[in-house]
Structure 1
Amino acid sequence: MIQQIYPSPSHEFSYELNKDFQFAAAHYVPHEAAGKCQNIHGHTYFANITIAGDQLDESGFLVNFKTIKELLHDRFDHGILNEDELFSDKDETRFPTTEVVARIMYEVIQEYLNTTINKPQCLQVFLRETPTSYVIYRPKSGGLL
C-alpha cells in the first residue's frame, strides 16, 4: 500500500476513521471528449475513506473496517465499472470517471452508515486513479442524511 498523507476535512466529531485499500478495475468513459479514455482500459485505484462520528457501536467500532472493504473493494475489484448498476453509459452524472466513482463510493458507504445505530458520517473519499492523478469527493454539508 502506498503510504500517503491525505488532505483531511475539518470536523467536530470525536472519532475519525480512515480506511485505505486498492482495487483493480476497468472502465471506459462514453463521451467523445474523453479521447482515448473512450476505450476500455484499467487502473489500480488507491482509495482512502474518511468516516467520523461521536458514538461507537455495540462492538466498540465507529464502523468495522471489514464492512468498508466488503461494500467497496469486494464490489468493484476486478470488474468493469460500466457494468455495475450504479454507473450508466447514458447519464453523464453516472459515467465512471474518477470524480463519479469517488462520489458513488461515498453514496454506497453513506447509505450503509445511515442504517447503523450510531450513524457515523462519511466525510471524504480520496481516490487515486494513477500515480499522478486523484480526486477528493466531499459531500456538501449534510450529504445523504
Structure 2
Amino acid sequence: MNQWYPSVIHDYSYELNKDFQFAAAHYVPHESAGVCQRVHGHTYYVNVTVAGDDLDHAGFLIDFKQLKNWVHDRFDHQLLNEDPLFNNEDSNRFPTTEVMARTIWEIIETNLQKLDHQPTCVQVIVRETPTSYVIYRPKKEVNK
C-alpha cells in the first residue's frame, strides 16, 4: 500500500499512522450526484494519524489493531447507507468521501478520549479511487 500522504503539523511528541483498506458499497441520495445515486462499490484506502505526548501502560500511543477494529471491522463489506452513522435525509450525513473521513475521525476520537493518556486523532485521509481522496483535519479549539 506504499502511500505517502500530506502531513499535519502538530506539537505532540508522538505521531502514529495506520493505513488500512476495506471494501464497501454506497450511494449518494441526491439528484446532483449523477450516477453516484446508484449503488456502487469502492475499495477504500484509509490513513489515520493519531498523536499524543504520553504512552499507555503497554508503551503504545494506540494499538494499531484497535484502530482497525474501530473502522475496518465496522465498514468492511457493508452498504454504508445502512450504517446508523449515515443518513439519507441530511446531506451532512450522506456517505460521501468527505463525510466518511469526518465520521471515521468521530469514531476514532470518541474512543481515544476514553483513554487515560488522551491521544488525539489529528487527521483522517480516505481514498475512494486511485485519483481521488479527502483529508479531514478537525479545527483546533481556540480559547476565547
Using the size of structure 2 for normalisation, the TM-score is: 0.97
RMSD of Structure 2 on Structure 1 (CA): 0.5
Once the two structures are superposed, the pairs formed by residues 132-143 of structure 1 within 5 Å of their partners are: 132-142=131-141
Identity %: 62
What is the CA-CA distance between 1:4 and the residue it aligns to? 1.1
Structure-2 separation of matches of 1:129 and 1:58: 36
Q: Deviations over 1:71-114 (max 9, x none)?
A: 00000000000000000001110000000000000000000000
Query: Secondary structure at 1:62's aligned position in 2?
Result: coil
What is the CA-CA distance between 1:54 and the residue it aligns to? 0.2
Alignment: residue pair count: 141
Using the size of structure 1 for normalisation, the TM-score is: 0.96
Which of 48-57 and 2-11 deviates more? 2-11
What is the CA-CA distance between 1:123 and the residue it aligns to? 0.4
What is the CA-CA distance between 1:38 and the residue it aligns to? 0.2
Q: Deviations over 1:22-42 (max 9, x none)?
A: 000000000000000000000
Name 2:93's counterpart in structure 1: 94
Structure-2 separation of matches of 1:33 and 1:118: 44
Q: Which runs of 4+ in 1 moved over 3 A?
A: none
Name 1:40's counterpart in structure 2: 39
Unmatched segments (≥5 aa) in structure 2 = none
Name 1:4's counterpart in structure 2: 3
Name 2:59's counterpart in structure 1: 60
Structure-1 separation of matches of 2:23 and 2:140: 31
Q: Deviations over 1:42-73 (max 9, x none)?
A: 00000000000000001110011010000000
Unmatched segments (≥5 aa) in structure 1 = none
Structure-1 separation of matches of 2:36 and 2:16: 33
Once the two structures are superposed, the pairs formed by residues 13-24 of structure 1 within 5 Å of their partners are: 13-24=12-23
Query: Secondary structure at 1:101's aligned position in 2?
Result: helix
Structure-1 separation of matches of 2:116 and 2:57: 9
Name 2:48's counterpart in structure 1: 49
Structure-1 separation of matches of 2:103 and 2:17: 18
